[in-house]
Amino acid sequence: MSAVFAHRHLLAIEGMGPDDVNLLLDAAEAYVEVNRGAIKKGASLRGRTVINLFFENSTRTRTSFELAGKRLGADVINMAVASSSIKKGETLIDTAMTLNAMHVDVLVVRHPESGAVHLLAEKVNCAVINGGDGTHEHPTQALLDALTIRRRKGRLGGLTVAICGDVAHSRVARSNIHLLNIMGARVRVVAPPTLLPADLDRMGVEVFHDMARGLDGCDIVMMLRLQTERMQGALVPSTREYFHFFGLDRAKLAAAKPDALVMHPGPMNRGIEIDSDLADDIDRSLIREQVEMGVAVRMACLETLVEHRQTLRND
Amino acid sequence: MRLLFRAGRVIDPTAATDRVEDLLVEHGVIADRGVDLLPRDLLGNPPADVEVIDARGLCLAPGLVDMRAQLREPGEEHKETIASASAAAAAGGITTLACLPNTEPVIDEPWLIEFVARRASEAGRVRIHAYGAITRGRAGQHLTEMGLMTAAGAVGFTDSPRNVADGGVLRRAFGYARTFDQLILNHPEEPALAAGGAMTEGEIATRLGLPGIPAAAEVIAIERDLRLVELTNGRYHAGPLTTAAAIEAVRAAKRRGLPVTADTAPHYFALNETAIGDYRTFTKVSPPLRSEWDRRAVVDGLRDGTIDAIASDHAPHDQESKRLPFRQAEFGMIGLETLLPLGLELVHNGFLTLVELIAKLSANPAAILRRPAGTVAKGAAADLVLFDAAKPWRIDEKAFLSKSKNSPFDGRPVQGRVIGTWLGGSRVYPSR
């Protein structure tokens, strides 16, 4: 690789440059074919230890990281920490110190609190990958979304991408907004104001409250998951009203370009934010491909961070 | 024993004078002020009963009056005690202090007012007065025994740092407190709008993925309170003010002649929301640090007199309460030992004169609390602070006498340092 990845950890997309993103996407691209082959196992991380430290339930992200690590030959250990314990922070710092003493190479951390992964990264010597922190960022999701788009559309720059739904509580949305802006895409968000955080327009997005206008001329429509407890009068009056105005179906998708593609980070609420039939339409929906790209992107991230640390050590 | 401060720059906030003179203390009281109180030929060999303190090049001001601090005793003595806070206050030049009732148990009974006074006099370094809670347990419902607490020494009533949300309860509190001509403080934050918030709402909160507290939560609370003051003619103090809109509301109320006073705390003019950086929990305070635009409005409010006083808003927390993900960390920073140097930034930056600053740090809060403090007039108790207004130094958390070290100002270069503090003519800092 010619370019150099200049970050010790992968904590956020914000702060990265286009070279960083391209480097990770190019590395991931190479693994897509490997993953489709019969023999998937490599040896570049043989002897390395990766720990998946999850303070929040997750099946797909954890499995994706686990597969990624194993396919590179690393030893992967999954640790689930109950986030319901009273002294959450003590658990966080104490766990970090404990793992640090075990000479781990990479820690993949998911935590329900924004900033928790950053706090943990300050306390350990190994590389840390943010597997999602609160409503802050989920950088590997944005990278896998970018790889998916790039493979289908051939580029990221110049595309118009609409991100629809609960942006306020979405780390996926924030990471995608940063990444798409870094790569020169035009980003729109579409949601009722109760699902949008303050001053979002200052993050380089156009804000819409209407699907027809927000999707008009879009290349990509990214749907976000809306948690049901937020749809019972707190932020949205009801699921049926939400689906009526903001759920993605073929009628609403018609406002986008004829070749527009649909994405969703999963897990989906079928019939709430996305029409079930549309979600399964392989001509329009990239949802399964996103999952596939996830493993390749995470392989690239693990390998790049380990290589970077090796370079630091050799220096 | 008499005490002679020789040729210091005496800052008298009441008379609004700032001139070099001698100040003589006898029997714990300021006995005289003037030029050359002790004949020059006696300076080298003063009378045996006179201790001469060379104050040349230094400032001598009334001991500071801090009208809002949290002391954690009773109940959270691992964070601070009245004794440790007293030592910290003396080191910060503070000689009179009013503490909030958010202890465990809540200060909502007369015996607790007396408890604080007793513990303070045992420590013997600073005059400490307690606010009583407005409502029992600060639960926002039932009024406390304001009369009995006033008799026990309460300087006012507040549920801070919690807002009394029920307008009916607050109306009755204003009305009932008038019976005893007492002051009411209400934490300036509409609780339903602030609920769950960790920092001020806006672009930075959005980027950090932290739940926001809108700036409007402050002015909405204050405007409601001001209407209740109008309705009840109660004595009301608003603080800490942190937003342009709330400051404008108080400015307009003062213009209308309402009996309202206001304060802010140093972090609201010395920092803005960008200090949070990568989730630095020492910057998590209530109300939250605001935008640069609001910070400038705080400075303007101090300049034009809308904001009468500067309080430390001292809120000690141990590591376990702060070494947490931002949303889970406690609100508050310590402030007793940084009150004066941070206040002096306003003077060095040309926003206030030294006399104006000292008034906001002593005479004005003393007047609001109706305590005979914050003065260097003849006959007043010799509560004094001697400081070098120009001395450059770096704030160092390791030097804090407070039991907790949660200050985001650690390492900040400042100008102006306390040399000594006297309470009733006795030196309380540095301790002998």
Please indicate whether, in this complex, the C-beta atoms of A114 and B325 are within 8 angstroms of each other.
yes
Instruction: Answer whether B80's CB lies under 8 Å from B72's CB.
Output: yes
Q: Which of B66, B108, B308, B313 is catalytic?
A: B313
Instruction: Answer whether A145's CB lies under 8 Å from A176's CB.
Output: yes
- Mean pLDDT of chain B, nearest integer: 97
Instruction: Answer whether B158's CB lies under 8 Å from B135's CB.
Output: no
Tell me the pLDDT tens digit for each residue of B325-334.
999 999 999 9
Q: Longest Cα pair distance anywhere in chain B, in angstroms?
A: 70
Please indicate whether, in this complex, the C-beta atoms of A171 and B324 are within 8 angstroms of each other.
no
- Residue A232 contacts by C-beta under 8 Å, 6 or more apart in sequence? A238
Residue A195 CB-half CA count within 13 A? 28
How long a stretch of residues is chain A? 315
Which residues in chain A have Cβ-Cβ distances shorter than 8 Å to B326? 113-115
3-state secondary structure (DSSP) of residue A214: helix
Q: What is the three-state SS of A21-84?
A: HHHHHHHHHHHHHHHHCCCCCCCCCCCCEEEEEECCCCCHHHHHHHHHHHHCCCEEEEEECCCC
Q: B192 CA to chain A: closest CA distance, Å?
A: 13
The span from the CA of A142 to the CA of A297, in Å, is 10
- Residue A270 contacts by C-beta under 8 Å, 6 or more apart in sequence? A276, A279
pTM to 2 decimal places: 0.95
> Does B390 have pLDDT greater than 50?
yes
> Could you state, in chain order, the average pLDDT of each consecutive group of 10 residues for chain A (315 residues)?
76 97 96 90 92 91 96 94 57 84 94 95 95 97 98 97 96 98 98 96 97 98 86 84 94 97 93 92 95 97 91 75
Which residues in chain A have Cβ-Cβ distances shorter than 8 Å to B216? none
Tokens (6 digits) for B6:
């020789």
Tell me the pLDDT tens digit for each residue of B147-164.
999 999 999 999 999 999
What confidence tier does B75 reach under pLDDT thresholds 50, 70, 90?
A: very high
> Does B250 have pLDDT greater than 70?
yes
Does this complex have an ipTM over 0.85?
A: yes
Which residues in chain B have Cβ-Cβ distances shorter than 8 Å to A88? 324-325, 328
Tokens (6 digits) for B15:
């008379």
The span from the CA of B240 to the CA of B222, in Å, is 11
Judged by CB atoms within 8 Å, which residues 309-328 of B form the interface with A?
Answer: 320, 323-328
3-state secondary structure (DSSP) of residue B62: strand
- Best B279, B292, B319, B322 member to test A by mutation, with max A CBs in 10 Å, is B279
Q: A231 CA to chain B: closest CA distance, Å?
A: 18
Is residue B181 annotated as part of the catalytic site, yes or no?
no
One-letter amino acid for residue B137 of the chain: G
Among candidate residues A251, A301, A314, A310, the one with its CA nearest the CA of residue A138: A301
Which residues in chain A have Cβ-Cβ distances shorter than 8 Å to B208? 114-115, 136
| Own/partner long-range contacts of B304-307 (Cβ < 8 Å, ≥24 apart) | B304/B251, B306/B241, B306/B247, B306/B250, B306/B251, B306/B254, B306/B262, B307/B241, B307/B247, B307/B250, B307/B262, B307/B263, B307/B264, B307/B360
